[in-house]
Every structure is written in structure tokens, then in C-alpha cells.
Chain A
Amino acid sequence: MDSGKQSAACRKLHAGRGFLLMLLLSISAYGEEPALPMGLGGEEPSLPSGLGLGDAEPDLPPGLDGGAMDALEESEVQASSLEISGFLDLRVGEWLDSHSYLENRPLNEARLQIKMDKAFPAATIRLTGDFIYDDVAHDRGIEPENGQGWLDLREASIAFSPIDFMDVKLGRQILTWGTGDLIFINDLFPKDWHAFLMGRDVEYLKAPSDAVKVSLFNPIVNLNLIYTPRFDADRYIDGSRVSYYNATLGRIGGTDAITKVKQPNQWFHDDELALRLYRNLGAYELALYGYRGFWKSPGGNDPVSGRAIFPDLDVYGASIRGPLAGGIANAEWGYYDSRDDRNGKDPMINNSEQRLLLGFERELATDLTLGLQYYLKRMEDYGAYRRTLPAGTDPAHRSRQELTLRLTWLTMNQNLIWSLFTFYSPSDDDGYLRPKVHYKYDDHLSLELGGNIFWGDKPQTFLGQFQNNDNVYFAMRYGF
């Protein structure tokens, strides 16, 4: 018998009759007799408004109406251990500036992401691949290291726990830690700056690492140890898709001035090690970080070959995050030890730096959130830098300060999302604006319109160099 109909009938009957009917009904429920049809039950009309003592009392829901209080039905189908999901993403962009040395469009691509997760009793295997048709790229051959070509393998990993308090994840994976919002101090995992500046989804700011991640957990302190046997550089700005300041030429360049690099690439020799010790203290999250590896984007030049290089880099740092004044505050510090130029006298290699980040985020009103950050990069051995700077070069300031502002406003039941992220440097007088509006049309389809706007006083400052790359983009994504 249909228990839904039965309980609906129970409810109606109960509204009108006393315990005798209930008794009958209980027995009928037990004996699986058919319920009384509608119309034969003692349906009593509810009082019209104005006649009752305020509102009529609510009917009892099935389960409280004295009907069958049966155990839970197993209506859920057991989920399979293989999960497949993904999306199709179509994206087209347009330059707002006219260029002589970049392609016609910043973006014109279709991307199909397939994500497969397979859970075994002892391990989980995860595969995520993006199949890409990129109309702007010239070379469509696959380069698995930097994601160029028609396949970008985002993840190919196996995760397991050999002992209770230990997790291991081996293979290609996306890695993130630290407290900044689009500012990374102690997170030295590879970033894709092209993707970020051209209007791909923000998830593509993170490029995958080929690494092993070992995590140890205990009540005193947790440890993450990440070993990358061969250096994974950023997908750095090289002029192919975004124009930038080329220090050798002393001007902004694009496809006419593509950076040639000499990248450390020897397995188990040019490796990277990153570690994090962290724990919670009440509501506060504390962490210490260490890194041994290389500057992730070119950080110097080889005077012999003229190529850009990735000099040795060590980083030590710490962070704290927790509630403050009705919001979330964070502070993060890092010391960048440029090991190939410890005294700062080599003009061809980045000096060491102190980096500091202070952030605060809170809700201004329902569904409206404000985030503010202050970011400081301060060069060590500034005197040595100034003394050894090649004649005629405009010196950088010792300190670069940045302020960021994020505003996020959720409207239409959180289906229409307005967001603005702004970088502004008062010290270098340059900036970067990321406005975006995202609409979730339904559970599968979303539309996005956004832009990347840069400005700067001088072409050689960090954001000023991108001033010819202003762009807008439109994206459609179908998720499954």
C-alpha cells in the first residue's frame, strides 16, 4: 500500500476525529487495510480567517499524527565508488587596448574538464584533465609540464593513509596554503599568471605540482612536507600572451620579446622542498613555513647566455588567522633568502626580501562582504642594489606597498554574484582592477562577464608593466 497516501489520509482523519478513529486507524495501519478514500473521511473545514482565535493550529505532519511511525526507508541509491564530474567552459576575450605585439584576442577557447575519482578501500585515485581548444595559442603540441597544448592534466594522484595519523598524496596535484587572498608569501606552489591576467576562471591561477605530499597529524602540531623532485616553475609571464616589461630591452614587449629561460630541470637535483607546521589555538590558526627551491618566476639573468634564470631561493615564514572585530583577520610574514645573491651585490639576481601581509574580511551587510589587505615587499641590501645597478637603469623603490580591496555582493538568492578585486600600490602608483559578474542560470549553466584593467605611472613597476593588457571576457560554463 502506498504509505504516502495512507499517511495523508491519516492526517486528515486525525484533524476531525478523536481517539476512537485513531485506534481504528492504527489497527488498519497494522493490518494493511486500505485507507478510507477522500470524502469518506471526517474532513472538517478549517475555520475561515476572522472566526478563529488567530491562526488555526497546524496539522500534525506524518509521523506525529499517530499514523505508522515506521523506520527510515532506504530511498538513497548507494553511491558508486567511481565519481565522474566536470564541465564544458567556453570563453572569449577582447583587448581594450590596441597592440602591435600581441595576438588579436586575449582568449578564445573551449575547455572540457573531466574529473574522475575512484575510491578503493585503501586509497583514492583522482584524475582531472582539461581538453582544450585554444584558438590563440600557436603551438598545439602538448607540453605536460606547463599545460600548453590540447591537454592540461590538472591532477593525477593517489592518496592513502599508511598509518592512522599520516596521509600521503603522490602525483600531480594542486597545492595551496597560506592566508592571503590572491597574495601568496609562503605558498610557493606554481601559479599560472597568464591564466589569471587573461580572464580564465580563478581556479587556473593555481598550476599543478608533480610532488609527494606527506602529512602527519597529532594534537601538538601538524606537519605537511611536500617534495617536488623536479622544479615546477610558475606559468610565468613571458610575452607570448600578455605584454610585460622586458628589462634587457628596457621597454614593454610581447611576442617580439618572448622571455628565453634557462630552467633548472634535473630530477632529484633541481628539487623543491616545502614544509608547514600548523595547529589551532582556540579560534586562531598558527603556522610556520619553510621552503627550499628557486624563484618561481624568472628572478635574474644569466649574463653569458642572456637568458632569464630561476636563482636559488629559501623562504621562512609564519602566519596567524582568526576572528577579530566581527570578521576574520590574518597576518603572514616571510623572509625570501635569495641564496645566489646573499649580499645583494649581483645586479643580475633578485635581492633578498622581507614580505608582510595584513588582512581583514567581514560582512558589511547580509550577502555583502568586504576584504582589505596591506602587503609589503621590502628589499634587503638596498644600498648594494643601488651601488651595483647598471648605469641608466631607473631604480626600484626599496619597499613596494600594495593595498587590496575585495567586495563581494550576492544577489538573487546568491545566484547573481557581483565581485570586485582591486590591487593598488601607493608606493609605485600602479594598480589592477578585476570586476566580475557571475550568474548561475540554473544548476548546470553559468555565465560570467569580467575584466582585467591595469594602470601604472611607469612601465617597469610590477603592475604598470601590464598597462597595455586591459581586457574583458565572457564565459559560459556547463557543469555536470
Chain B
Amino acid sequence: MSSRRPPGFLLALLTLTLSFPASAAPTVDEIVHHANLTAYYQGQDGRAQVKMTITDSQGRIRKRRLTILRLDESGSDALENHAYLGGQKFYVYFHRPADVNKMAFLVWKHLDRDDDRWLYLPALDLVKRIAATDKRTSFVGSDFFYEDVSGRSLDEDNHELVETTKNYYVIKNTPKDPAAVEFAYYKMFIHKTSFIPVQVEYYDKAGTKYRVARALEVKTIQGFPTVTKARMENLRTGSATVMAYTKVEYNIGLDDALFTERFLRKAPRKLLR
């Protein structure tokens, strides 16, 4: 991959455009969909290696290493008519720690019903189906939820643009079914030019902020602005998880057949290294 820096004058130009507000302000719908696309749907497929560092309130550290493969069913990155939206398939392969080494996790994410999830346990050669009703449970013991990793359906919340700052659209999201989630609402700071959700803050019924996600580092990869380091902090427990993404690649031409039982049992090694 080329690591040539863009010429300075181009950056200066970019900075210029950053400094002046866009002429036509986007609607709330456009903002949240653009952010959704940027966070979860860029390219037709993608892969990344993930290093996860979980630090609890007492400073004890646990690390996970995994590879994530993703395939979008929509075949489009267009925002018009929400054409980018659609089902997605994820393949997660665990490298570390030792007790989960070579385990593989397959998710078929659907927009209209519960996800299908399978876990492969290599020591038993067992393909286990996993119930996926609760998406707001910890992903592999970290502070991230399944929903943080694979995305939360925009239809589940009402979205409101509460503020436009120099850098951000600030969106307040209120759940349509408050009983189904642990938060009363969450605020997203969406970067105005890249549409990256830079910070997401979750508030409880008392209005107390208890959970914060933050993009720590952004890189542009194959033209896609990509969060390459993110942190989730649980303010109640004092625990925090940092996910660092490396070897990020888009549009690598993943085959749909990869996301089946065949490759749970026989990991696609070339794609996982």
C-alpha cells in the first residue's frame, strides 16, 4: 500500500473547505444514514485485523486478537433511497487468547429479523447455533456490545439534530422501544465532512452519562475514512476497551460462500493472516 503523503496544498485546500459551512445543510435523515454508511457499510466488503485491549477498573489488562471479514448484500454504497442498506455477513476468527484460538464466529445480520449466529469450537469440531435476541450484550467480554461492532438499526431510534458545532452534527437518538435497551438516549457527534461518528455518549433515565465510545484515530484507506482505533468506556464500572484495526482493506472481492459452515470448519487462512 502506498504511504505517499498528499501534497500540502491539497491539504490546505481541504482545510479551507473544512473552515466554511457547507451551503446546503443536510437533513437529519441524510446525516444519520451517511454516518451509518461510513461506520458500517463502506465498500462492498472489507476485512481488518483487530487488537482489543480490555482494561478493568483495577488496571488488569486482557487482550484479544481477531480478524473480521464483512460482506454487504446490497452491492451499493449509494445513499440515495438508502440503497447501501441491506443484510450483511460477518466472519470473525479468533487468534488470541489461547482458550479461544481458532474459534470462528459467523453472523448473518438481517434488517427485518434477528441475526443468525454460529460459533465453531475447533476442539470439538462443533458448529453451535447461538440465540441472538439480545444484541446489547458484551462482545467477547469487552466493553463493546455486539451492536457496537455490527451496527444498530436506524429504525430502532428517533433521531434529532440538537446542535451543529464547528466540527459536528450532534444527533440525539431516542429508542422507539425504551424497554428493549439499557439507555434512555444517546448523543452522537458526527464529523461534518467525513460523517464519522467521533463520539457516542449513552445516557440513562436520570440523564447521567454512563458509557462513551470515541474514535481515537482515523485513516483514509482506499478513499474511505476509517476509524482505526476506537475506545469504549464504561463510566460506571471504570472499565474500558480499545479496539485497534490494522490491515484494513475494502473491496477485496469476498465470496458469499465464505460465510457458510464450510469455512467455519475450514478457516480461510489466506484471508485471516
A328 to B101, CA, bound (A): 25
Interface string of B95-125 (1 = CB under 8 A from A): 0111101100000000001101000010111
- Determine if B262 and A222 form an interchain contact, defined as CB atoms under 8 angstroms apart: yes
- Determine if B131 and A71 form an interchain contact, defined as CB atoms under 8 angstroms apart: no
- Determine if A176 and B124 form an interchain contact, defined as CB atoms under 8 angstroms apart: yes
Chain A residues contacting B5 (CB-CB under 8 Å) are 29-30, 68, 70
Chain A residues contacting B239 (CB-CB under 8 Å) are 413
A367 to B141, CA, bound (A): 10
Q: B191 at interface (Cβ–Cβ under 8 A)?
A: yes
A415 to B166, CA, bound (A): 43
A458 to B101, CA, bound (A): 43
Known A71-B219, A72-B221, A215-B262: A61·B125 in contact at CB below 8 Å: no
Closest B residue by C-beta to A446: B99
Chain B residues contacting A328 (CB-CB under 8 Å) are 129-131
Task: Give the residue of A62, A87, A169, A330 whose beta carbon is less than 8 angstroms from that of B217.
Answer: A62
- Determine if B49 and A76 form an interchain contact, defined as CB atoms under 8 angstroms apart: yes
Q: A19 at interface (Cβ–Cβ under 8 A)?
A: yes
Q: B19 at interface (Cβ–Cβ under 8 A)?
A: yes
A22 to B14, CA, bound (A): 10
A477 to B12, CA, bound (A): 57
Closest B residue by C-beta to A60: B167
Chain B residues contacting A18 (CB-CB under 8 Å) are 19
Interface string of B53-68 (1 = CB under 8 A from A): 0101000101100000
**How many positions in chain B have a CB within 8 Å of any CB in the partner chain?**
84
- Determine if B219 and A72 form an interchain contact, defined as CB atoms under 8 angstroms apart: yes
Chain B residues contacting A176 (CB-CB under 8 Å) are 124-127
CB distance from B206 to the nearest CB of A (A): 16
Chain B residues contacting A175 (CB-CB under 8 Å) are 125
For chain B, what secondary structure do more than half of its interface residues adopt (helix, strand, loop), or is it mixed?
mixed
- Determine if B12 and A76 form an interchain contact, defined as CB atoms under 8 angstroms apart: no
Closest A residue by C-beta to B216: A61
Q: A138 at interface (Cβ–Cβ under 8 A)?
A: no
Task: Give the residue of B18, B97, B142 whose beta carbon is less than 8 angstroms from that of A66.
Answer: B18
Q: A27 at interface (Cβ–Cβ under 8 A)?
A: yes
Task: Give the residue of A60, A119, A446 whose beta carbon is less than 8 angstroms from that of B198.
Answer: A60
A349 to B189, CA, bound (A): 72
A205 to B14, CA, bound (A): 62
- Determine if B125 and A173 form an interchain contact, defined as CB atoms under 8 angstroms apart: yes
Chain B residues contacting A124 (CB-CB under 8 Å) are 269
Residues in chain A within 8 A of chain B (CB atoms):
18-19, 22-23, 26-27, 29-31, 55, 57-58, 60-64, 66, 68-76, 78-79, 85-87, 119, 124, 159, 167, 169, 173-177, 202-203, 205-206, 215, 217, 222, 278, 280, 283, 285, 321-323, 326-328, 330, 361-363, 366-367, 369, 413-415, 440, 442-444, 446, 477, 479-480
Jot down 27 A-B pairs with beta carbons below 8 A, ordered by A: A18-B19, A22-B15, A22-B19, A30-B5, A55-B209, A58-B189, A58-B199, A60-B198, A61-B227, A63-B219, A64-B196, A66-B11, A74-B247, A87-B99, A174-B123, A176-B125, A203-B124, A322-B129, A323-B131, A326-B114, A326-B133, A361-B131, A366-B134, A415-B62, A443-B97, A444-B98, A479-B97
